[in-house]
A and B are shown apart, each in its own frame.
Chain A
């Protein structure tokens, strides 16, 4: 599954970590681990900051975390106007790493800094093209 299928609008169709999209389509969240020094990253990255090696492998990432901060977007960029307002959340993943995503199936009044959230792999269902993503839900 090409990486260009990741996201409502994807600006980076080609990447060394494109297998992330394959795993996401299967419903799995993966990070990376440097084969040389063991350094872990989420989101996955091909090039190790610690030892400069480019030899990495994908490892399973945790799908739960804590909400660091959030905002509700009212004025949207091109391509997202049909979704406003939507709530973006910044999450510290259990086990390390951070991700940014939007909330689904969670009432605004339930969204609070410090709350526990889960990260759910999803596919945009009612369109013909394949678009994969993950969303946040109250745990």
Chain B
């Protein structure tokens, strides 16, 4: 039995001081319901929420959201894996459908980050590492990835300019994405002159905190065509965990869970890295995207910088990556990012991306990392 995505609904990402977390969820839910046909609420068997609860004043989100979108009394629960929460939720949904327990599952990634101020967010996000032995030294999330960046630069000669080029690409495509937070192109000069956040990562190397929600409706191959003409199949799933702490990451130039998750997904979908025609990877920082090129096998180890220099990750290159603007342009509502990546790949495989369409794309991939790689979920999609 195959499991496919038949409905996607993407809300507007940004500083959403105009809405509560359940109102944001409803936007995405409404959009997904408009995307499908012949589906009524009662046909949905469960609601799985992907979110990182620490950022909200509202406790226990699944109950609140499921009630607000009118899905009582269907079962609901939270799947949490930091920044990979909604990909984890998608994996949970896949398992529910594949097992035959549920026929149609609604996966909702939702997050409000901006209820907290910047220093508070830095503190909370930084505490995804080892709180006992690292947070006492004022570690931050950009700080952790900066440790990776410096090591990658020292080992492979990657430059700050190459990092900035990733940001330029993100903004180039984000400018064409109506759901993105930042819809303006930037120059290389501007990126390289932006203030330092955690050396060598500058403001333009870092994704922005944002609020937002994305909904996905998945079902089995018996029902899929009833709800959408072009279901997109989740053909390969890979997931792995890694030590939470940099104190236990011998190789500081690679995210081990991404390598493992990628391998598993490729194997299950019976494809190789070069077969991926469009990918959406976890670019919480520009260095994370460069690491992803290497970890997923799009570029050889150490050649991630060259991959962006040669524009292989642009449309027209070997493997277009993040042509929806990535986390960098869209913003990063932690719980919703995974579902946003899935939405982009689904639309690409449907042929619905207009100016940003990768022509003839039939095999796509999403790569969603939680924290500094303690969680990673890779999905391979086929049309």
Q: Do chains A and B touch in the complex (CB under 8 A)?
A: yes
What residues on B are CB-neighbors of A77 within 8 Å?
119, 122-123, 126, 135, 138-140
Q: How large is the interface on A (under 10, 10 to 19, 20 to 34, 35 or more residues)?
A: 35 or more
The answer on a CB contact under 8 Å between A70 and B131 is no
In A59-85, which residues have CB < 8 Å from any B CB? Answer: 68-81, 83, 85
A136, B199: Cα distance in complex, Å: 18
Quote the shortest CB–CB distance from B122 to chain A (angstroms): 4
In A11-40, which residues have CB < 8 Å from any B CB? Answer: 11-12, 15
A71, B149: Cα distance in complex, Å: 9
The answer on a CB contact under 8 Å between A98 and B247 is yes
What residues on A are CB-neighbors of B118 within 8 Å?
75
The answer on a CB contact under 8 Å between B132 and A12 is yes
Does A51 interact with chain B (Cβ within 8 Å)?
no
What residues on B are CB-neighbors of A73 within 8 Å?
138-140, 143, 198
In B189-240, which residues have CB < 8 Å from any A CB? Answer: 195-201
What residues on B are CB-neighbors of A98 within 8 Å?
246-248
Does A1 interact with chain B (Cβ within 8 Å)?
no
Instruction: Indicate whether A72 sits within 8 Å of B151 (C-beta atoms), given known contacts A7-B136, A86-B138, A133-B136.
Output: no
A86, B146: Cα distance in complex, Å: 13
The answer on a CB contact under 8 Å between B150 and A100 is no
Does B134 interact with chain A (Cβ within 8 Å)?
yes
What residues on B are CB-neighbors of A102 within 8 Å?
137-138
What residues on A are CB-neighbors of B126 within 8 Å?
77
What residues on B are CB-neighbors of A101 within 8 Å?
137
A114, B252: Cα distance in complex, Å: 13
Residue of A nearest to B195 (CB): A74
A95, B88: Cα distance in complex, Å: 38
In A95-124, which residues have CB < 8 Å from any B CB? Answer: 97-102, 113-114
Residue of B nearest to A108 (CB): B199
Residue of B nearest to A69 (CB): B151
What residues on B are CB-neighbors of A75 within 8 Å?
118, 122, 140, 142, 197-198
Residue pairs across A and B with Cβ atoms less than 8 A apart, 19 shown, are: A7-B137, A11-B131, A12-B131, A15-B132, A69-B151, A71-B199, A72-B198, A73-B143, A75-B197, A75-B198, A76-B119, A77-B135, A77-B139, A77-B140, A85-B196, A98-B246, A98-B247, A98-B248, A100-B139
